[in-house]
Amino acid sequence: MKDKLTDITEMSIWEDAQRMLEKARKDGVETAWDRLAQQTPHCRFCELGTTCRNCVMGPCRISAKAEPGGKLSRGVCGADADVIVARNFGRFIAGGSAGHSDHGRDVIETLEAVVEGHAANYQIRDAAKLTRIAAELGIAVEGRAIIDVAADVVDACYSDFGSRRKAVNFVSRVPAKRKEVWDKLGITPRGVDREIAEMMHRTHMGCDNDAPNTMLHAARCALSDGWAGSMIATELCDILFGTPTPRKSTVNLGVIKKETVNILVHGHNPVVSEMILMAAREPEMIALAKKAGAEGITVAGLCCTGNELLMRQGIPMAGNHLMTELAIVTGAVEAVVVDYQCIMPSLVQISACYHTRFIDTAAKARFTGAIHMNFTPENAREEAHKILHMAIEAFAERDPGRVDIPVEPVDIMTGFSNEAILEALGGSLEPLLDAVKAGTVRGFAAVVGCNNPKIKQDSANVGIIKELIKNDIMVLVTGCVTTAAGKAGLLMPEGAEMAGPGLRNLCGALGIPPVLHMGSCVDNARILQLCALIANSLGVDISDLPVVASAPEWYSEKAAAIGLYAVASGVYTHLGLPPNILGSQVVTDIALNGLEDLVGASFVVEPDPVKAAELLNQRVTSKRKALGLNA
């Protein structure tokens, strides 16, 4: 591991990353790779998931070498490795579900502020979608003012967070056979906050001391994220900011321009970043930037708030998770504006090494040393203006001698919401289903998730996608994999040259890339919905479809929640590295095998991208055969 963390060519596959890693060393900037080297080797107990800190009779740890009933085989309360690992995993999933879902709640609050008339700078940009969603939720729409319909949608979405429902609203989208599976297991998600709170309750000392039972609730908790928290975030963001449509943009550190004031938006919730972009496009702001000697203002994206703005507004993407530190190292970033999630606290220190203003905007995600702006739906425009002024002011402090923008940007296509896909297909899924039946497209793979410095950056993300498309499996990307796919040229129609003959022809006919960008992490809900649409039109379960998923370089609690709701929804899911569960044979067996019997899908862990793609390909083949299609 240590060599991999010191040899720059082993740390990332990208030229922009490698060049900035060199510059970081020259500039005395510490990065995630340096800190991982310091942290390696990790605590073995924690890696295996066999430490417990759930009460102060402990903390306790279970020895991997402990004989059953022997020394260090149980914590002070008597919990064994299985119970401890399951509890830790359950809380891990609760953390991830909470992240996505609380983001969803913030979007509901923004729509509520619009309805109540105190968020003048936000509006309902897609009224047609609002009406459609309202009708889906059983809300009367005929002859009603759009704002009244929106008020009822707000209420319905809030109700998904509570304890009064037997099932969250969007379970109505789930195929009947899947609902039966969930009902039989008692894992139909009822309310987002309820499932998260129940997980915290179950994992208190002296509650759920049966690992399989805890694992089932982990699945329920994750399902409440996928089919409620995340789905609400996606649908309401489309209503507020517009449903994405295909458009072109660019990616990599080359999108940061020497000549412009550069603002990077980072985090997840577009409620803040949309406003920054709006302010940056105002002629007065551009004039101010010009007065300061710049040619204009560039707003570029990092991580998922970047994906949100890329999908809807076509802003350029500067980078994914492991590029966030390196973007600042270019020395040409005037401001990093963050909301929440996946923002390394180290960015504050790195910003301080340059002239970069690091600005946090959320009361629930403050960073010591940052400039704090208390962003609310009510004051968003004024705060955005203040931020723009700060960035323009910082431009004057930029040291041209420390600027290095290492590469030219690469072109990408984005904006493939389900609505856009349906429209491209002429309003019906039939042409796509025909392509699947004919074997032109053998199946679909959602390749999603993060970077993790334990894996050479984007080697697995890109490696798996290339193998999958070679096998005529169409790939759908979200989150940080998007940037990886884009940099590799896979998000352009020309990328189809790397695909197998069937997929290549289909992409050629439709003028689309072999890899479709569907959004941010919460937008994995779009993929769930697409799976449900396909399953419903074929009259089968999601687990019957030739659909697979992969998170090759994941790191976060949220990614684990996504993986688990994918599996619990019936999608076989690959992880490039395991969660911290290997200290329990029972929990590991459930994840890798037992879930297959329960929910018709399981996890598979494989670090090698080629081998992983082959496993995913085999799964697609077996599902095709079971549906009576050619392999």
Closest distance to ligand SF4 from the beta carbon of 77 (Å): 3
User: How many whole angstroms separate alpha carbon 271 and alpha carbon 110?
Assistant: 8
Nearer to ligand MSK by Cβ, of 191 and 576: the residue is 576
Q: Is 372 annotated as a binding residue?
A: no
User: How many whole angstroms separate alpha carbon 208 and alpha carbon 211?
Assistant: 8
SS3 assignment for 570-614: CCEEEECCCCCCCCCHHHHHHHHHHHHHHHCCCEEECCCHHHHHH
Nearer to ligand SF4 by Cβ, of 37 and 205: the residue is 205
Partners of residue 548 on adjacent β-strands? 445, 572
Nearest to 224 by CA among 246, 199, 259: 199
User: How many whole angstroms separate alpha carbon 129 and alpha carbon 318?
Assistant: 30
Query: Applying CB under 6 A, which of residues 558, 574, 623, 624 lies at the interface with ligand MSK?
Result: 558
Under rule CB under 6 A, residue 54 binds ligand SF4: yes
Under rule CB under 6 A, residue 342 binds ligand MSK: yes
| Among ligand MSK, ligand SF4, none, residue 303 binds (CB under 5-8 Å by kind) | ligand MSK
Nearest to 310 by CA among 228, 263, 248, 376: 248
Nearer to ligand MSK by Cβ, of 357 and 558: the residue is 558
Under rule CB under 6 A, residue 59 binds ligand SF4: yes
Closest distance to ligand MSK from the beta carbon of 550 (Å): 13
Which amino acid is located at 137 in the chain? L
Query: Applying CB under 6 A, which of residues 17, 20, 52, 181 lies at the interface with ligand SF4?
Result: 52
Q: Is 304 annotated as a binding residue?
A: yes
Part of the chain binding ligand MSK (CB under 6 A), chosen from 177-185, 197-205, 552-560, 609-617: 552-560
User: How many whole angstroms separate alpha carbon 203 and alpha carbon 49?
Assistant: 14
Under rule CB under 6 A, residue 304 binds ligand MSK: yes
Cβ-based neighbours of 496, under 8 Å, separated by 6 or more: 469, 503, 504, 507, 508, 513, 514
| Among ligand SF4, ligand MSK, none, residue 54 binds (CB under 5-8 Å by kind) | ligand SF4
Q: Is 342 annotated as a binding residue?
A: yes
Closest distance to ligand SF4 from the beta carbon of 216 (Å): 20
Structure tokens at 400: 């041209």
Query: Given phi > 0 = left and psi -120 to 50 = alpha, else beta, which region is 296?
Result: left
Q: Is 60 annotated as a binding residue?
A: yes
Q: Is 521 annotated as a binding residue?
A: yes
| Among ligand SF4, ligand MSK, none, residue 449 binds (CB under 5-8 Å by kind) | ligand MSK
Cβ neighbours of 290 (radius 10 Å): 15
Under rule CB under 6 A, residue 450 binds ligand MSK: yes
Concatenate the DSSP letters of all residues of 384-415 into one string: HHHHHHHHHHHHTT--GGG----S--EEEEE-
| Among ligand MSK, ligand SF4, none, residue 480 binds (CB under 5-8 Å by kind) | ligand MSK
Under rule CB under 6 A, residue 103 binds ligand MSK: no
Under rule CB under 6 A, residue 43 binds ligand SF4: no
Closest distance to ligand SF4 from the beta carbon of 51 (Å): 8
Which amino acid is located at 492 in the chain? M
Query: Applying CB under 6 A, which of residues 88, 471, 524, 556 lies at the interface with ligand MSK?
Result: 556
Nearest to 491 by CA among 239, 612, 316, 327: 316
Q: What is the largest CA-CA distance in the chain?
A: 75
Annotated binding site for [4Fe-4S] cluster: 43, 52, 55, 60, 77
- Point out which residues bind ligand SF4 (CB under 6 A): 52-55, 57-60, 75-77, 79, 84, 205
Annotated binding site: 43, 52, 55, 60, 77, 268, 304, 342, 450, 480, 521
Annotated binding site for [Ni-4Fe-4S] cluster: 268, 304, 342, 450, 480, 521
